[in-house]
Amino acid sequence: MAVASLIPPAPATGEPQSGCYMAATSDCGGRLSREHYISRGLIDGPELRVRGMPWQREEVARFSPDNLVARILCRRHNSAMSPLDAHAIRFFLSVEAGLKHAQRRSLSRKSRFYMTSGDGLELWAMKTLASLYSSGIEFMTPEHRFRDFEPPMERIVAELSSPNPCSIMTLSLPLMQDAHEEQIGRRAVSIGPIVDDETGELSGLLVRMHGIALVFNIDLPDKDALPETEIARPDMIDLIGMDRTSRIFLSRAKRRPEAWIVQIRLSHPRKDPPAGRSDRGCNRQPLRK
């Protein structure tokens, strides 16, 4: 599942459109479009919750899809980058179908497999970060104001306009059950910035889809910098139900000799009560530097 080029079709227009965050590439066209800055397909129906600190209990704001629009990209750039939304939606729908399969009542023990793009998902997260920041969305946490943390926009624009785009964000999956929502499967997306308390800088985005926590780390030096309880760039996510498993593959252009699998157990009785409330995680350990 390769990621298609995100560059608008040639020839370049030579025009920067003021207000488009890709304007530095001088390849704008068609004025600014009023677009959803989180892939519309992800918030069709389910509401989007925006949280402050990712592991924080209180929800900061809840938005209906109609409120999540802004003029941040010209039409030409918006459509050139739309394949990224398709990758995120494919992942979201694969998790949805995978959960359904693993949890439904049936005597069958057959596993099902779903193919998604790990590279596409990381690029989508980078575009979403740029879009959220450019939209000027106003959300506050008790300690931070999201707008005060400028992501490396120049580098993001350079990557999104490169013939071989490469995300500055690395996906990691927490292994601890309580990093995910207590009830996996709520059909919703939540997004929150991760601020490194030591450096005071934005270090990533936490996205939950159907309650499953996905951490997108900005400029992760290497996988050893992650807390021990997180797996960088998993190749597969297994959703393990009582009787059967769904396996979601996250494809990558660069293959590694070994494959990493994250297993998420569903609807098994828990022995100890979860530490957090539904919808919250545990305290994420800081990155090791």
Residues that bind Zn ion (CB under 5 A): 17, 20, 22, 28, 74, 77
Between CA 158 and CA 164 the distance in angstroms is 10
3-state secondary structure at position 38:
coil
Q: How far is the CB of 17 from Zn ion (least distance, A)?
A: 5
Q: Could you give phi then psi for residue 135, rounded to 5 degrees?
A: -70, -15
Q: How far is the CB of 23 from Zn ion (least distance, A)?
A: 6
Within the chain, residue ranges assigned H as helices are 75-80, 82-103, 118-135, 153-160
> Residue 128 or residue 203: which is nearer to Zn ion going by CB?
128
> Residue 71 or residue 187: which is nearer to Zn ion going by CB?
71
Between CA 11 and CA 53 the distance in angstroms is 43
> Residue 28 or residue 213: which is nearer to Zn ion going by CB?
28
> Residue 34 or residue 62: which is nearer to Zn ion going by CB?
34
Cα radius of gyration rounded to whole Å, the chain: 19
Between CA 46 and CA 15 the distance in angstroms is 37
Q: How far is the CB of 71 from Zn ion (least distance, A)?
A: 11
**How would you label 130-155 residue by residue, b for 16+ Cβ within 10 Å and e otherwise?**
bbbbbbebebebeebebeebebbeee
Q: How far is the CB of 124 from Zn ion (least distance, A)?
A: 18
The size of the chain, in residues, is 289
> Residue 106 or residue 162: which is nearer to Zn ion going by CB?
162
Contact between residue 156 and residue 168 where contact means Cβ atoms under 8 Å apart = yes
> Residue 65 or residue 83: which is nearer to Zn ion going by CB?
83
Q: How far is the CB of 76 from Zn ion (least distance, A)?
A: 6
> Residue 53 or residue 130: which is nearer to Zn ion going by CB?
130
Contact between residue 94 and residue 120 where contact means Cβ atoms under 8 Å apart = no
Between CA 131 and CA 125 the distance in angstroms is 10
Measured CA distances, 133 to 152, 164, 200, 231, 264 (Å): 10, 24, 17, 27, 31
Q: How far is the CB of 13 from Zn ion (least distance, A)?
A: 9
Q: How far is the CB of 206 from Zn ion (least distance, A)?
A: 28
Q: Would you give the distance in Å from CA 281 to the centre of its chain?
A: 16
